Structure 1
Amino acid sequence: MEHSKGARAVALVGPAGAGKTSLAEALLFAAGAIQRLGAVDAGSSVGDASPQARARGGSTELNLMRFDWMGDRYTLVDAPGSPGFAPDAELAVASADLALVVIDPDPAHAPLVEPVLRRLEALGMPHALFVNKIDQARGSIEELLEALQPMSAAALVARQIPIRAGERVAGFVDLALERAYHYEPGKPSTQVPLAAHLKDDEAAARFHMLEQLADHDDTLLEQLLMDETPDLKTIFGDLARETAQGLVVPVLFGSATSGFGIRRLLKMLRHDTPDAAQTARRLGIDGPAVKVFKISHGGTIGRLALARVFGAPLAEGAELTAGDGEPMRAGALFAVQGAATAKAPRAEPGGIVGIAKADAARAGDLIGIAGKPPAAALSEPPVTNCALAIAVKDHKDEVRLSTALNRLAEEDFALNWGQDEESHDTLLRGLNDEHLAVALDRLQQRYGVAVTVRQPAVAYRETIRKPAMQRGRHKKQSGGHGQFGDVVIEIRPLGRGEGFGFEDRITGGAIPRQWIPAVEQGVRDAMAKGPLGFQVVDVAVALVDGSFHSVDSSELAFRTAGRIAMADALAAASPYLLEPMAHIAIRAPGSATSRITSTVASKRGQLLGVTPLEGWSRWDCVEALLPGAELNGLESELRSLSQGMARYEARFDHLAEVGGKLAEGIVQQVREPA
């Protein structure tokens, strides 16, 4: 019997709709962890237990499931396939020992897989491919692998070839063992004699597999050159080693819903999945630690820090050390199975567990066990491109809203929120519109907070076209001391991006020194909202004259006079509207590039260039300047143009003039009463 590698974790990743959760269900059933095979469509699977997942027919959040197989404990990390939810699961995926990329057999869908493969390569993550829905396959596995190979830096190594009965795949040949198996619906596959007409195909496919392994094993290469047959120990040893090192990507196939190829997949996972010690080295973890990958709120347990244990067992009450050196203790430990939790006495190295009362722990933290400090840095959250302005429907929910948003942001690494300094709106930020829609569903269903939603205000600005001079006088007498302030200012336009300048040109004591700062503050007050209704930028102001009253002048009077003078001067200086322009970089498959550039042009965008995306197979990077107002809804539009694959990053570039009817419409909208 092989030596046990201990508790291991396998991440299920891949495009949405490939059948990851169905495969998890099939693995649990085949391993005996569940007695009845559930179905995603029926809402009866162990994964996808949340209302949002069941309403959408697909995963919207990370799911954890565990089973025992041949004496070892496995945890499946089922990651959502939709791009809006995948980043939240990435911390858990990176903490696993192996990523199993689940795909469907249609070669036309191969481009959907490339972003997944590239991300795993960037993470240095060992991975294998499982071609699901093989009972629905119409093309050949060879065709599929030919389409996929340019998308993978490592060789895709077919571990099996199909046995066909007409157009239908009825079984497979295991190339390492040289054994043929016939699929049995709902049962383990049965071994059958290798048909004579398959022997040549099997021999050629097996030799190709060995050649791929020999690229990284000189001894095996020498054996092949000498026409020697390598033993099974060598073959299986190379498969495990080269998979763990990311040199090859094993490829198996089957059907989750029919149960085809599931036990063969379990055997591959048992043999080829690296152990937790190898994963700790990959992650740079030195010594006993827990890697927190998600925070969960819910049920009677409350807050749980979901974490992977490395280097030593973890027990309730164990001493822990956070990254800042702060000591803490582990609360009760819980094993997680889909939506269910059960108290666990301890977690072995390699195990995944929920830790209660670890209130200082955050997603991405590495926490030392037994008082030892951690040895790796924290993880950075992903960049969020989409935002919504939200407000409670009932003002009594204001405090509850803050609490609920804090919990949502803790639970989802890719969500954040805050208050916009200019508009004072509460902004919820996420990766795309689907991501935000699910967050709003959770806000209402989990926390009972109903909100209104609108697009965030665009940060328009205004400036002036010509110089102007204006007097501002504030005089008020209402018994006792009055108020008097009198100023004359000159204003002129500055270059774009130069901001604001204030110059004191007072001579002869026309205004005492102590009131000059008040005049500047009044000028700034007027610039907060100019004649068009927006913040004023790129204007120079000079205070050139004025007068004062020895009794009635005050700081307030001169501040008011400065504001009056500036407001009138701005109105006389031909104000015009500016809009923020964003520099966007869109990554998309080449097949969608022309549609994307047309969309950019239709949104008043300026195309800067299209370049091939380095290291990718037929992907492009489209760079453009786009008005900030046109970013609303851009993510969903790009997805619809590219089979859901296009992504973009945006940053502020500059302010540009808006003219004509567009500017008139924007100004009119601001001036209309709410």
Structure 2
Amino acid sequence: MPDRVASPRVAALVGPYLSGKTSLLESLLMACGTVHRKGRIEDRNTVGDASPEARDRAMSTEVNVVETEYLGDRWAFLDCPGSVEFRQDAVDALMVADVAVVVVDPDPARVRMAMPVMKLLDQRSIPHMIFINKIETAQVGLRELMEALQSVSDRPLVLREVPIREGDKVTGYVDLVSERAYRYKPGERSDLIQMPETVRDREEEARQELLESLADTNDHMLEELLEDVVPPKEEVYETLAKDLADDRVVPVFFGGALEDNGVVRLLKALRHETPSVDETMARRLVDPGEDGPLVQVFKTVHAAHTGKMSLARVWRGPVKDGTQAGGEKINGLYAFTNPGQPTKITSAEAGSVAGLGRLESVTTGALLDAKGAREADWPASMSPLAALAVRPAKHGDDVKLTGALAKLAEEDPSLRVEQNSETNELLLWGQGDIHLQVALARLARQYNVEVASEKPLVPYQETIKKSTKKQGRFKRQTGGHGQFGDVHIEIGPLSRGAGFAFHDKITGGVVPRQYIPAVEQGVKEWARQGPLGFPVVDFEVTLYDGSYHTVDSSEQAFKTAAQLAMREGMPDCQPVLLEPILKVEISVPNDATSRAQRALSTRRGQILGFDQKEGWDGWDVVHGMLPQSEIHDLIVELRSATMGVGTFSWEFDHLQELSGREADQVVERRKTLLENG
């Protein structure tokens, strides 16, 4: 059996929402002796999901880091959120993990929920195992489960054990490499037993399938099988470890975390087969350099007692408190051996996970050595799908709010903050309603900023369909110098997307040259809010005549005259409302394609067609156009129709005329909004 014990290693626990990752972490820590009493999610006392936001919702809302030891090996477990709305933390954690344990339900219908994470693991060649949790609740056989799981994996799955059943209940397992049988003892280690005769045929069949899968990557083992020679167990273990490190196969285990069933078996597989930090570094890094400390940040947190902390994988060590990383001095170094409470340390060795204090300019994904930042291959942040308009509940908290939002977005790159210039709203973008509500809860708890939130305004605009000519004359006598400006303008429509054009056709100096820019400025300022209440686009104004006074004329007077002409002329130009139209691409399993199309059509969308999603068997991409006003809760409907895995991307495409009752309602709401300030 190969000995892979060296530096600390990192295992990420990933998988769909409600698959039991946090419960598995409790079992793993119990088996390691880190905790002596397991917490329960319903009791809100688990090591993972320790934040108030996670406990309030009984779900993981951020990655949790716990360091432990098992049989002398040091481990860091990264318990990752399963909800797709908090997937960014899982993606970032996987980029520094030596291995991932994908926790799934024993229900073929829910296997599709693992597709996004399985695709990421395959695309990034991250070694991973599957742990079928809650095996005691399985309603189907392991063969059917394996077939369903293979449908979401590009790599061949290799079953590592077969169940021992008594009636419909799984009471133990047979390890297919050692060929030893074990009976579960809830809350304790399994007992070694004689292999039951009822399972022997299935064990022999499954073991042969395992060996044949490994022979695909091991020529020597293939020769042995062709010659009917049974490969030594040491060779089987060595091949399994090598194939896992090379991401050629995916070992599959099963058990029940609540009863601690199968957890020690999983730990032993992790111990003997997980790649070392050197192997992971060679696989992951573009340019690891040659010597000296090297770290990579996978999570940024802001805490009251430590300030900014960068959670990092130490690729090369030792890293010491006070040394340089990325051009800054580390001010505080922390380990995570005490669940829920970072522990200050003086040095972190290669392979470990460490908290680096107060690296203010360092962001998630940064690869750092003593000299600066190196080139890093890091996935792009998730694109935003839903937004809330936010404002401080207390007067004067504007600066406090923007600062807190910036920190939230630094902690979670899938959040985005935007000051929308068209609606003048401060927008918080995220991955869905729960994601945004958790962010608001953190604002209140972590930064003491209470906010009011609402659905964002749609950046409607307006344009005109007819031309007109108008005179604007501004005259005011105040006792001293007066104000006088007189302009004759022609207002006309332009093609969609043309913007605004101003033409000067003054002859004979009837409007002096120095006042003409003021006329254009007056038109632009007035066009910020047209007769329908929205910014005016796609129109032109021609200044062709006017008059002035040698004493009383001024730039301000001509600006005002231009605005008077616009105010009187624009209602005669047949103003029309324009709504923004987005190009959307909806990704769903193909049994939900019709529902995705229906979601578009019922939202006044235009379906452009659909095709198979590249590299995703059984998935489609639906292409369409959708009014921006209809996109607010689209992600909720898609996730409801696809067990949480459906998603979409969008980009602005064009402005389109909106008329009839819907346009009237938009204009009326705008009028009310403006009247109320």
Partners of 1:281 and 1:477 lie apart in 2 by 81
Partner of 1:504 in structure 2?
504
Q: Does 1:314 align with 2:316?
A: no
Letter in 2 for 1:473: R
Give the superposition deviation at 1:446: 2.0
Partner of 1:394 in structure 2?
394
What do residues 325-375 of structure 1 show as CA deviations (whole Å, max 9, x unaligned)?
xx211122111244211112211101001111222222121111x436524
The structure-2 alpha-carbon separation of the partners of 1:405 and 1:476, relative to structure 1 and needing over 3 Å to count, comes to same
Partner of 2:257 in structure 1?
256
The structure-2 alpha-carbon separation of the partners of 1:396 and 1:505, relative to structure 1 and needing over 3 Å to count, comes to closer
Letter in 2 for 1:403: G
Matches within 5 A, 1:67-216: 67-216=68-217
Partner of 1:18 in structure 2?
19
Instruction: Judge conservation of contact 2:4–2:276 (CA < 8 Å) in 1.
Output: no
Letter in 2 for 1:218: D
Letter in 1 for 2:594: S
Partner of 1:555 in structure 2?
555
Partners of 1:645 and 1:604 lie apart in 2 by 24
Q: Does 1:290 align with 2:289?
A: no
Which consecutive unaligned segments of at least 5 residues does structure 2 have?
none
| Secondary structure class of the residue paired with 1:414 | coil
Give the superposition deviation at 1:400: 2.3
Instruction: Judge conservation of contact 1:347–1:353 (CA < 8 Å) in 2.
Output: yes
What do residues 88-145 of structure 1 show as CA deviations (whole Å, max 9, x unaligned)?
3321221111111000101111111111101212222111100000111121111011
Which consecutive unaligned segments of at least 5 residues does structure 1 have?
none
The 10-residue stretch of structure 1 (333-342 or 497-506) with the greater mean CA deviation from structure 2 = 333-342
Partner of 1:224 in structure 2?
225
Give the superposition deviation at 1:502: 1.1
Instruction: Judge conservation of contact 1:187–1:259 (CA < 8 Å) in 2.
Output: yes
Letter in 2 for 1:29: M
Partners of 1:341 and 1:373 lie apart in 2 by 25
Partner of 1:587 in structure 2?
587
Partner of 1:340 in structure 2?
341
Partner of 1:628 in structure 2?
628
Q: Does 1:565 align with 2:565?
A: yes
| Secondary structure class of the residue paired with 1:151 | coil
Give the superposition deviation at 1:552: 1.2
Instruction: Judge conservation of contact 1:215–1:221 (CA < 8 Å) in 2.
Output: yes
| Secondary structure class of the residue paired with 2:41 | coil
Matches within 5 A, 1:413-424: 413-424=413-424
The structure-2 alpha-carbon separation of the partners of 1:373 and 1:305, relative to structure 1 and needing over 3 Å to count, comes to closer
Partners of 1:306 and 1:379 lie apart in 2 by 17
Letter in 2 for 1:69: Y
Give the superposition deviation at 1:418: 3.1
Letter in 1 for 2:570: L
Partners of 2:457 and 2:372 lie apart in 1 by 48
Instruction: Judge conservation of contact 1:388–1:453 (CA < 8 Å) in 2.
Output: yes
Partner of 2:275 in structure 1?
274
Instruction: Judge conservation of contact 1:472–1:488 (CA < 8 Å) in 2.
Output: yes
Instruction: Judge conservation of contact 1:63–1:338 (CA < 8 Å) in 2.
Output: no
Q: Which aligned runs of 4 or more in structure 1 are off by greater than 6 angstroms?
A: none
The structure-2 alpha-carbon separation of the partners of 1:56 and 1:233, relative to structure 1 and needing over 3 Å to count, comes to same
Instruction: Judge conservation of contact 1:49–1:338 (CA < 8 Å) in 2.
Output: no
Letter in 2 for 1:97: D
Give the superposition deviation at 1:282: 2.2
Give the superposition deviation at 1:396: 3.4
What do residues 129-188 of structure 1 show as CA deviations (whole Å, max 9, x unaligned)?
000001111211110111121221100110011110100001111001111111111111
Partner of 1:380 in structure 2?
380
Q: Does 1:439 align with 2:444?
A: no
Q: How many residues align?
A: 668
Partner of 2:365 in structure 1?
364
Instruction: Judge conservation of contact 2:366–2:373 (CA < 8 Å) in 1.
Output: no
| Secondary structure class of the residue paired with 2:257 | coil
Partner of 1:2 in structure 2?
3
Instruction: Judge conservation of contact 2:4–2:271 (CA < 8 Å) in 1.
Output: no
Partners of 1:333 and 1:636 lie apart in 2 by 41
Instruction: Judge conservation of contact 2:4–2:273 (CA < 8 Å) in 1.
Output: no
Give the superposition deviation at 1:312: 1.9
Partners of 2:430 and 2:213 lie apart in 1 by 42
| Secondary structure class of the residue paired with 1:459 | coil
Partners of 1:359 and 1:373 lie apart in 2 by 14
What do residues 639-674 of structure 1 show as CA deviations (whole Å, max 9, x unaligned)?
112111110111001101111011111101111122
Partner of 2:40 in structure 1?
39
Letter in 2 for 1:271: H
What do residues 303-336 of structure 1 show as CA deviations (whole Å, max 9, x unaligned)?
211111012211111122x2xxxx2111221112
Partner of 1:452 in structure 2?
452
| Secondary structure class of the residue paired with 2:498 | coil
Partners of 1:181 and 1:38 lie apart in 2 by 26
Partners of 1:469 and 1:338 lie apart in 2 by 75
Aligned residues with identical type, % of pairs? 44
Give the superposition deviation at 1:6: 1.4
Letter in 1 for 2:73: D
Letter in 2 for 1:305: S
Partner of 2:536 in structure 1?
536
Partners of 1:95 and 1:22 lie apart in 2 by 22
| Secondary structure class of the residue paired with 2:43 | coil
Q: Does 1:28 align with 2:33?
A: no
Instruction: Judge conservation of contact 1:366–1:378 (CA < 8 Å) in 2.
Output: no
Letter in 1 for 2:288: D
Letter in 1 for 2:67: R
Instruction: Judge conservation of contact 1:638–1:647 (CA < 8 Å) in 2.
Output: yes
| Secondary structure class of the residue paired with 1:340 | coil
